[in-house]
């Protein structure tokens, strides 16, 4: 007997388990558009997350995966229909569910700050590896352009010796970050301040004391920001993307201002845009405060983060 192709068998299996979900998945497949910066979002992941959210159990894709689908009450089916239509119209999944996963943490998400991306975990892992290699009993880390607080909270969760001081220019982003600190149970490990890059640190007397400074800055050129796609440009804050005419305005300030807050042997770990890595790595290696520069690449070999070690 001829066997059905795998995709057909998958659809038949879905219908045998939950016909409503199978219909939902087919509907999502019909309008789904993949996003390179959100590789975890597939039609199956989106459908499952929307279903769980409608059932009153909002969860990120990672948290929703593997859980049995609950039955939906009539009011929850109406909620699911609204969520599907909003997703079809281009609203980000993380804004619909209010959740995003980052480095093992379930976080709150919203339009107040950049949705944490998988690619930023390259920066997070590099920063965490640097901290873990230090022998100190306690460590100070600084996270600027903190956004939703994802990097700061991930460092605090995975390295118990670290205290993190974070800042962002946006009061709305800081309010979301503070909610995430409470949501993750890390409120006592991370403090948040509103201000432009290192300005809030000036009054804290932290000069020369940070073992690590990390930053996911805006690094997209101003001209490209409106062309990022409606799901990004219409829903996420431009402040989190716009890096000026060359995409380097915040990066240049980081390289000038960060050394004053790093202790000798400390590291500035920073995310950079595609194509920026080789030139930045070469320029930084010539800075008098730099001991060495380490590049961190994505799966395609592109440099996406740099660790700059202070002399």
CATH number reported for the structural domain that contains residue 198 in this entry: 3.40.50.150
User: Quick one: pLDDT at residue 191?
Assistant: 97
User: Quick one: pLDDT at residue 154?
Assistant: 98
Q: 286 and 163, same structural domain?
A: yes
Q: Structural domain tally of the chain?
A: 2
Helix orientation angle between 150-158 and 171-183, rounded to the nearest 10 degrees: 30
- Which regions in the chain score pLDDT beneath 50? 1-2, 4, 6-16
Using a 10 angstrom Cβ sphere, with 0-12 exposed, 13-18 middle and 19 or more buried, the burial of residue 240 is: buried
The model carries a pTM of 0.92
Rounded-to-integer distance, Cα 47 and Cα 24, Å:
6
Q: 48 and 117, same structural domain?
A: no
Residue 49 contacts residue 60 (beta carbons within 8 Å): yes
Q: Are strands 105-108 and 99-102 parallel, antiparallel or unpaired?
A: antiparallel
User: Quick one: pLDDT at residue 13?
Assistant: 42
162 lies in some domain:
yes
Q: 129 and 55, same structural domain?
A: no
User: Quick one: pLDDT at residue 155?
Assistant: 98
Q: 241 and 168, same structural domain?
A: yes
106 lies in some domain:
no
User: Quick one: pLDDT at residue 96?
Assistant: 98
Q: 269 and 181, same structural domain?
A: yes
Using a 10 angstrom Cβ sphere, with 0-12 exposed, 13-18 middle and 19 or more buried, the burial of residue 254 is: buried
Which residue, of 70, 97, 124, is where some domain finishes?
97
Residue 290 contacts residue 310 (beta carbons within 8 Å): yes
Q: 179 and 46, same structural domain?
A: no
Q: 299 and 187, same structural domain?
A: yes
Main-chain phi, psi angles of 303, to 5 degrees? -70, 120
Q: 245 and 165, same structural domain?
A: yes
Which residue, of 97, 131, 165, is where some domain finishes?
97
220 lies in some domain:
yes
Rounded-to-integer distance, Cα 99 and Cα 110, Å:
8
Q: 119 and 93, same structural domain?
A: no
User: Quick one: pLDDT at residue 26?
Assistant: 96
Can you name the residues that pair with 306 across neighbouring β-strands? 270, 295
- Domain of 248, in residue numbers: 112-310
The sheet with strand 262-271 has its strands ordered as: 190-194, 162-168, 139-144, 210-215, 262-271, 303-310, 290-297
């Amino acid at each position: 007997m001829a066997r059905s192709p795998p995709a057909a068998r998958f659809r038949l299996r879905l219908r045998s388990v939950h016909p409503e979900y199978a219909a939902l998945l087919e509907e999502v497949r019909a309008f789904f558009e993949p996003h390179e910066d959100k590789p975890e979002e597939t039609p199956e992941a989106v459908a499952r997350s929307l279903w769980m959210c409608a059932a009153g159990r909002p969860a990120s894709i990672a948290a929703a995966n593997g859980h049995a689908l609950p039955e939906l009450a009539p009011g929850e089916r109406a909620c699911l229909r609204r969520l599907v239509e909003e997703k079809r119209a281009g609203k980000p999944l993380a804004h619909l569910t209010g959740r995003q996963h980052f480095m093992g943490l379930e976080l709150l998400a919203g339009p107040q700050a950049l949705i944490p991306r998988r690619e930023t975990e390259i920066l997070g892992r590099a920063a965490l590896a640097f901290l873990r290699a230090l022998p100190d009993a306690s460590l100070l880390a600084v996270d600027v352009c903190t956004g939703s607080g994802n990097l700061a909270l991930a460092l605090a969760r995975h390295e118990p010796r670290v205290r993190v001081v974070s800042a962002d220019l946006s009061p709305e982003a800081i309010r979301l970050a503070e909610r995430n600190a409470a949501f993750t149970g890390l409120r006592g490990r991370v403090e948040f301040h509103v201000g432009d890059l290192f300005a809030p640190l000036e009054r804290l007397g932290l000069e020369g004391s940070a073992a690590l400074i990390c930053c996911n800055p805006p690094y997209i050129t101003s001209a490209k920001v409106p062309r990022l796609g409606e799901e990004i440009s219409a829903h996420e804050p431009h402040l989190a993307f716009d890096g000026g005419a060359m995409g380097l305005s915040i990066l240049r300030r980081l390289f000038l201002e960060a050394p004053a807050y790093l202790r000798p042997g400390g590291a500035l770990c920073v995310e950079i845009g595609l194509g920026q890595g080789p030139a930045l790595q070469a320029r930084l290696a010539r800075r008098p405060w730099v001991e060495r520069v380490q590049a961190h690449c994505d799966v395609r070999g592109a440099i996406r983060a740099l660790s700059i070690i202070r002399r």
